[in-house]
Amino acid sequence: MPIPFLRMNLDSTILANDSFYGTRLSVILENFPEGSSDAVEWRVENPRIAEVTAEGIVWPKGAGITYVFAKLVNGKEEAKSKIIVTDGNDYKFRLVLTDKGKSDFSIGNPNAFLSQKAIERRRKQNIPIDESDLPISKQYLKAITDIGGVVVAQSKWLNTVSVSVQDQFLVDKYKALPFVKEVVLVYVGKRKQSSGSPKYVDSPQQGNFGNLGKSIDYGSAALNISTVNGEALHQQGFKGAGMDIAVIDAGFIKLKNNPAFNNIHIKGAKSFVYENDDPYSIDMHGVWVTSCMAMNKPGSYVGTAPEANYWLLRTEDSATEFPIEEDYWTSAIEFADSVGVDLVNSSLSYSDGYSYLTKQYTADDMDGKSALASRAANMAFKKGIFIVNCAGNEQKWVGTPADSPNVLTLGSINSNGDRSNFASWGMTADGRIKPDIMAMGGGASVINTSGTAENRSGTSYASPIMCGLVACLWQANPSLTNNDLMEILRKSADRANSPELPFGYGIANMKKAMELAKIKVGQK
């Protein structure tokens, strides 16, 4: 009598881990009595390589070789199929360190890791240089890179190092490092082929502001400024001169070739996105945002801080939405601190839009101190930087870093002073109102990539309109701290006596802010 035999329909199969396709396995009964059940139980030898469902569908999980087994429910017979998983993905992991290790620098010699302007900002606001200012140990960084992968971001403030790898199982070796407390997956994406483009080399642009005078023809930007009485600062001669503003954004495509921007002062530009180091190569969002502050074309368009200096910092990977962007944002604001910026405009927001492969935020996470970008913003504020951030356009709770108590979060109004319905708002998890104040974001005038004006809507534009005016207010009152400015701006708004959702403290009024600043200076 023939011996009963159980076999798989496939002896082996190859799956690609960078696809979303699985393979269905099934069993074939040979020499079994008629009517025998082919019901089986499925298991996989190495669940890190693949997983198998109760229906026998195999899904790839990680590069390698494993076996899937099928065992008869009503018998001892078992069959197996070889599973080969290839991997065309790149992975990025955030390593959370226990400490920064033995520093290669000394607090007593801050010029080795901070610019003179960064040191001066601390001095003016009585902020000591401390251990948090010291970079991560080179020994720690070497130990990480010796394992493999490339360091793509790091934070001396938050003790994190983010690495890009092709082998996801290097995570085991990272976890084994004695100074690594936690490893978090922050990106998964198909491997990109090298473009072969030469490495970006930055070059500053010296602005030639001309003489705007005190009576300015703002052109199409007039309503941006008049809705919050911004002209009151300009009429007193304060247009941002001497103030350094970092614009953290998605990209500034061809901004330096745009004739509308040819007379603004750009101190530098940098991309923190690992796959593309050219801040001017992609995305027009940063062009629209920067125009709200920096433009200096009387009769055509004049922004809120036309005489300020600018750093243009790209942190968004426009093709995806993964938490690695917060690591890039953190690296950017630490860079902004080190070169000595006074203010940061961030027209970005991270909430529940991350890829399903990673943990998404909920409103309960927005307590102003938990999300990575919020923690970085809090540290930047401690270093004396003033941060302005949009509330977001999701018509719900605000994301990070806008949830931070140390970030001036901007909601949006239109030219009639009515609230924009698209803007996000809500109470933070720890019971604070966001946004803080409102400015023009509904139908705001911006300059596009063609160098002409157009109207766009979003809290992304309310934020830089206000950031530029804060720069002018600080120029007028250099003895104020960033904490003083935060208090003044909230008190200047039209609902300051009774803040309420969804307006926060209400529509900003820079004329009143000037009066409050004068009082504050007199009290010092």
Taking CA 419 as the corner, what is the angle to CA 418 and CA 422, rounded to the nearest 5 degrees?
A: 135
Is the residue at 285 inside a domain?
Answer: yes
| Bridge partner residues of 153 (DSSP) | 162
Mean pLDDT of 421-443: 97
Residue 80 shares a structural domain with residue 99: no
Residue 38 shares a structural domain with residue 122: no
Element (H, E) at 111: none
Name the average pLDDT for the chain: 94
Residue 165 shares a structural domain with residue 80: no
- Lowest model confidence (mean pLDDT) among 25-29, 163-167, 497-501: 25-29
pLDDT higher than threshold 90 for residue 37: no
Is the residue at 463 inside a domain?
Answer: yes
Using pLDDT thresholds of 50, 70 and 90, give the confidence band for residue 31: confident
Of residues 394 and 35, more confidence is placed in 394
pLDDT higher than threshold 60 for residue 421: yes
pLDDT higher than threshold 90 for residue 318: no
Domain residue limits at 446: 241-523
CA distance 296 to 84: 60
Is the residue at 350 inside a domain?
Answer: yes
Block residue for tokens 């005190």 = 214
Q: CB-based contacts of 239: which residues, under 8 Å, 6+ apart? A: 212, 233, 305, 306, 307, 308, 472, 475
CA distance 331 to 252: 18
pLDDT higher than threshold 60 for residue 53: yes
pLDDT value of position 315 = 98
Using pLDDT thresholds of 50, 70 and 90, give the confidence band for residue 75: confident
Residue 138 shares a structural domain with residue 162: yes
CB atoms within 10 A of CB 32: 17
Is the residue at 408 inside a domain?
Answer: yes
Mean pLDDT of 230-234: 97
Whether residue 411 contacts residue 423, with contact meaning beta carbons closer than 8 Å, is answered with yes
- What is the torsion angle, in degrees rounded to the nearest 10, for the CA atoms of residue 236, residue 239, residue 243 and residue 248? 140
Residue 390 shares a structural domain with residue 495: yes
Residue 38 shares a structural domain with residue 143: no
CATH number assigned to the domain comprising residue 423: 3.40.50.200
Percentage of the chain beyond pLDDT 90 is: 85
pLDDT higher than threshold 90 for residue 319: no
Mean pLDDT of 264-276: 97
CA distance 258 to 273: 23
This prediction has a pTM of 0.93
CA distance 426 to 401: 14
Whether residue 420 contacts residue 457, with contact meaning beta carbons closer than 8 Å, is answered with yes
Residue 300 shares a structural domain with residue 372: yes
CATH number assigned to the domain comprising residue 23: 2.60.40.1080
Residue 255 shares a structural domain with residue 168: no
Residue 15 shares a structural domain with residue 100: no
From 157, 190, 223, the end of a domain falls on 190
Whether residue 271 contacts residue 443, with contact meaning beta carbons closer than 8 Å, is answered with no
Burial class (CB in 10 A: 0-12, 13-18, 19+), 302: buried
Question: How many domains is the chain partitioned into structurally?
Answer: 3
